[in-house]
Amino acid sequence: LAVVVTGYSAAYLAGLVAATSDAGILLQAQVITQPPTIMFTAGMVYFFARVMARHQELIEENEQVAMQANANGHRFRSLVEALPGVILTSTPEGGIRYASPQLEPLFGFGLDDVNGDWASIVARVVHPDDQEQLAAVMMAGVANSTPFSHECRAVTPSGETIWIQLHSVLVDDGSPDAPVWQTLIFDVTERHSLTEQLTHQAFHDALTGLPNRLLFDDRVNHALERSRRDLLQTAVCFVDL
């Protein structure tokens, strides 16, 4: 770009040439007698060149941010799908917005197979004898906006009874759909069975399978506490076999 200007010192023009060249424009200035408005034109050219250069930088930065967001999203999906449990995202009103793919392998149905709310999932999955207690725990957590955990029995499509553990926490990340409840559901049947076995071994004789002294002491203490609370009398009968 060749621009003719007038009335300016050589040092000033040299600085203008150097600054304008940084924006990708080659400016050659000659000191001759021309209208001073040409200098304004050169300044405008330099300004718009800088604007276009910054615009290109922003485009490249946005592309990098988008690529990073896509990579983070892929890693998050991989993490969710690798978890040995179900992830549910729900509204405070109980509407399910997201269910991880593990829902179907564990319970035999997907989110599209229910009405898309917690009530439908509880009615379909949770053991009938445990539904009322779970509902009370969930209602208390939602009312107070506090995290809650609960263990209960669930029934699989094959009719098998398993134990599940729920962990729920209210998340408010400032997004338009916040706050939401994030719930993790794990199959803890194996752990629960192991706990029952250990408890049975602790309170029963390994050889005969009969209750041992620890279980006797435990039952006596419970009876004494109940008698003190209810103003009853407790008696122990000893039979020598």
Retrieve residue 227's tokens.
Answer: 């008698």
Examine the pLDDT at 152 and tell me if it is beyond 90: yes
CA dist list (Å): 12 to 27, 30, 40, 50, 84: 13, 12, 14, 19, 70
β-sheet bridge partners, residue 90:
96, 181
Which residue type, as a one-letter code, is found at position 11?
A
Q: How far apart are CA 237 and CA 38, in angstroms?
A: 116
pTM confidence score? 0.56
- Of the ranges 9-18, 27-36, 81-90, which one carries the lowest mean pLDDT score? 27-36
Q: How far apart are CA 88 and CA 180, in angstroms?
A: 10
Q: Which helix (H) or strand (E) holds 181?
A: strand 180-187
Q: How far apart are CA 144 and CA 92, in angstroms?
A: 11
What pairing do the DSSP bridges indicate for beta strands 148-155 and 161-171?
antiparallel
Distance in Å from the first CA to the final CA of the chain? 115
Averaged pLDDT for residues 99-110: 83
> Other C-beta atoms within 10 Å of 16: how many?
19
> Model confidence over 21-39: pLDDT tens digits?
444 444 444 444 445 566 5
CB 164, CB 127: distance < 8 Å: no
Percent of the chain with pLDDT over 90: 14
Q: How far apart are CA 188 and CA 164, in angstroms?
A: 5
> Model confidence over 30-73: pLDDT tens digits?
444 445 566 566 666 667 777 777 777 777 777 777 776 665 55
SS3 138: helix
* Cβ-based neighbours of 137, under 8 Å, separated by 6 or more: 148, 150
Percent of the chain with pLDDT over 70: 73
Write the DSSP string, 112-144.
Answer: GGS-SBHHHHHHHHB-TTTHHHHHHHHHHHHHH
